[in-house]
Structure 1
Amino acid sequence: MKKIVSLLLLVALFSSCNEYQKALKSEDVSKKFAMADTLYAQAKYTKALRLFEQIAPEYRGKPQAEKLFYMYAQSYYKTKQYHLAAYQFESFVSGYPKSVKAEEGAFLGAKSYAILSPTYSLDQADTFKAIEKMQSFIDRYPNSQYLAEANGLTKLLSEKIEQKVYENAKGYNTISDFKSALVAFDNFIADYPGTKFKEDALFYKFDSAYQLGINSVPAKMQERLNVAKISYQNLIKFKADTKYKEQASDMYARVEQELQKYTK
């Protein structure tokens, strides 16, 4: 019995593959559509895509086009071809704005851009684009069933941008370009007042001011030490029990010690 079942499955598989090959070579677009529809329903998206790519131009403006282009975009998404999925979903929503699938298509198009967003250390052009697309979706569908996920993705994307800017500022501190670090941290804190990196930014701003002051030429030392003092106070004001407290306190004590020389 097991051999018979296996044989029947093999025959069915061969027959299915044979029908697929026939559909690929056929000039009958309706036959191709029917096969692509079947394959899509079976979650065989890669095979379905080959047929969709063949017949898409022929179906523009036809009654079946809405269904076809939705499945076409979904097939790219399901096979993780996100650049193409984003393009096809945008095209679908533009062509069928009143479709019952328009909201889902708009979200998945924006989500495709979000998935394409690289790690924070790389160029963030795709991340900015993803934020723009996701915000456009939120504005267009403020009561969407996908709103919570869209907001969550926007938050993650925004934090990636914040981390990129923060790490760039910290990079100046790392290479001892403390003047540039101070400017970069000031801009970062002003641009992202609610950032989760604020405590770190405030500490490394203080560290940059401290290093610049302690190692300054005599003519500029007092002024720079006062900048360091204010930077320390801003850190403690933001978080009195900062994780950097021990290190920062020792540095601040040195700043106060050096400033005492200017009060005598």
Structure 2
Amino acid sequence: MKNYIVLLLLTVTLISCGPYQKALKSTDNELKLTVIDQLLEKEKYSKAVNLFDQIIPAYRGTEKAESLSIKYAKALYETGDFPNSSYQFERFVQSHPLSEDKEFAAYMAAKSHYEMSTLYSKSQLNTDRALAKLQDYINSYPDGVYTDEANILVSELRSKLDRKAYEIAKNYHHRSRFIAAIKSFENFIIQHPGSEYMDDAQYYLLESEYLYAIKSRDELVAGRMDIAIKYYNTFVSRFPTSEYRDDAEEIMEKINKYKSENNI
């Protein structure tokens, strides 16, 4: 038992006196640089960041500043600290405009913002920022190394915004707030022309207008039915094989029946 305790204490002592702990407590910045490189090779990014935080100010403005800055930003990204990695990558671009790593830093700054984008059901402020940053990269480097990947990320983020806008409009529809639903679906169709939810939006616009019409005062029904017919014609011409086609035809039959019974 006594031997076990001695061995345990020796192990703890060796660990506490390891290269990382020694560098962390040292005032020797060159030692810290050496240990940082060792940690990065072993993908121990959090420990590397702790050492970076100690030495970055000391090397600012020196010939080592460029290489340290890009390594620091990469390490922050790998730890999942995307707000700080985006800041450091953007700062790198501004501070080292002639660096061969400038394009990489510009892309990773945008990708850091992409990583902060939340679920479609939550606020999309970070999604909007990420789209702007990615588009800036694409505009600056149309034939860049990361342009294809950036375009994929842009498509993913736009799809998220599409769904956010579509779900808002659909929620109005399901809560029978037809005026808000109609306006939201109309805006969606204009603002999201390539969306995968386009036929859904076009159908629910038709249904919202129809339901709005039949709940209106008698003198307003006919005019709103006519608007619904226009939406029907647009829907069937654009999406003739849509899964909503039968539902749209059923609505049209009800409209025709109403107009026939009321001699409209």
Note whether the superposition's TM-score is higher than 0.5.
Answer: yes
Structure 1 stretches of at least 4 aligned residues deviating more than 6 Å after TM superposition: none
Partner of 2:234: 234
Equivalent residues, number: 255
* Cα offset, 1:17, TM superposition: 5.2
Correspondence list, 1:147-158, <5 A: 147-158=147-158
Structure 1 regions of 5+ residues with no counterpart? Answer: 1-6
Q: How does 1:153-164 map to 2 (within 5 A)?
A: 153-164=153-164
Moved more, 146-155 or 226-235: 226-235
Q: CA offsets, 1:66-95, max 9 Å, x none?
A: 111111001011111111111111111111
CA deviation after TM superposition for structure 1 residue 193, in Å: 2.0
The equivalent residue for 1:217 is 217
1:4 equivalent in structure 2: none
Output aligned runs, 1:96-115, within 5 Å. Answer: 96-115=96-115
Q: Measure how far apart 1:16 and its partner are.
A: 9.0
TM superposition shift of 1:251: 1.4
Inter-CA distance 29–101: structure 2 relative to 1 (3 Å threshold): same
3-state secondary structure, aligned to 1:122: coil
The reply on whether 1:189 has 2:189 as its aligned counterpart is yes
Question: Which 10-residue stretch deviates more, 131-140 or 41-50?
Answer: 41-50
TM-aligned CA deviation for residue 225 of structure 1: 1.0
Find the aligned partners of 2:192 and 2:38 in 1 and give their Cα distance: 50
Structure 1 residue 98: Cα displacement: 1.5
Change (3 A) 1:217 1:34: same
Deviation of residue 60 (structure 1)? 0.4
Give the Cα separation in 2 of the matches to 1:229 and 1:36: 69
Partners of 2:26 and 2:249 in 1: CA distance = 78
Residue identity in the other structure for 2:183: V
Structure 2 length as normaliser, TM-score?
A: 0.91
Indicate the residue corresponding to 1:93 in structure 2. 93
Distance 2:58 2:73 in 1: 16
2:133 maps to 1:133: yes
Q: CA deviation at 1:39?
A: 1.4
Indicate conservation of the 8 Å contact 1:214/1:255, yes or no: no
Matched residue SS, 2:115:
helix
SS at the partner of 2:18?
helix
Contact 1:222 1:262 in 2 (8 A): no
The separation in 2 between residues aligned to 1:14 and 1:84, in whole angstroms, is: 33
SS in 2 for 1:126: helix
Between the aligned partners of 1:120 and 1:256, the Cα distance in structure 2 is 39
CA RMSD of the aligned region, Å? 1.9
Q: Which amino acid aligns with 2:166?
A: Y
- Contact conserved, 1:76 with 1:84, CA < 8 A, in 2? yes
| Structure 2: distance between partners of 1:176 and 1:96 | 56
Report how far residue 177 of structure 1 moved.
0.6
Distance 1:139 1:157 in 2: 17
Amino acid at match of 2:177: D
Are the equivalent residues in 2 in contact too, given 1:56–1:69 (CA < 8 A)? yes
Are 1:27 and 2:27 counterparts? Answer: yes
Structure 1 residues 17 and 243: CA distance shift in structure 2, 3 A: farther
* Equivalent residue number for residue 204 of structure 1: 204
Q: Which amino acid aligns with 2:130?
A: A
Identity, % of aligned positions: 36
8 Å contact from structure 1 (residues 162, 192) kept in 2 = yes
* TM-score, normalisation: structure 1: 0.91
Distance between the aligned counterparts of 1:41 and 1:64, measured in 2?
19
Structure 2, unaligned runs of 5 or more: 1-6
After TM superposition, give the deviation of residue 200 of structure 1 in Å: 0.3
Q: Indicate conservation of the 8 Å contact 1:213/1:225, yes or no.
A: yes
